Amino acid sequence: MIRAAEIREWRNQNVVDPEGRKIGVLEAVYVDTTTDEPAMATVRIGLPTRHQLAFVPLDRAIVGPDYVKVAYDKALVKKAPSVGMDDILPAGAEEEVFTYYGLTYEPGTGGERQLARR
């Protein structure tokens, strides 16, 4: 797994799918609040005047010299749950991101969020 300190250095780098197709640009990293390990990233997608931040899991991500390669297809990421450029992921929508990718959502025992932006 990529450590949080390392992945922050890749902000504004290209995010590509397993075939090397550019999905967008890495905007932010979200860590799992239980492990403090990178879990998701937001990718800036869309037209320059209508950018959105799509969520993509960082499991099996590979960092290259000028890119972050994720394990998910470009088309899947482009249709993923997203937020506006100045928005944050509402707590109630967090589970939707995990469900979209077929991942298990595990909030804290007191209902705490599973993701925190770093």
List, for residues 5-62, the tens digit of each pLDDT value.
Answer: 566 677 889 999 999 999 999 999 888 888 888 899 999 998 877 889 999 999 999 8
What phi, psi does 84 have (nearest 5°)? Answer: -70, 165
Cα separation of 68 and 103, whole Å? 20
The 10s digit of each residue's pLDDT in 76-110 is 999 999 988 878 888 888 999 999 999 999 887 66
Cα separation of 97 and 53, whole Å? 12
The 10s digit of each residue's pLDDT in 64-77 is 888 999 999 999 99
Class of residue 103 by CB neighbours under 10 A (exposed 0-12, middle 13-18, buried 19+): middle
Give the pLDDT of residue 4.
47
Look up the pTM and report it: 0.87
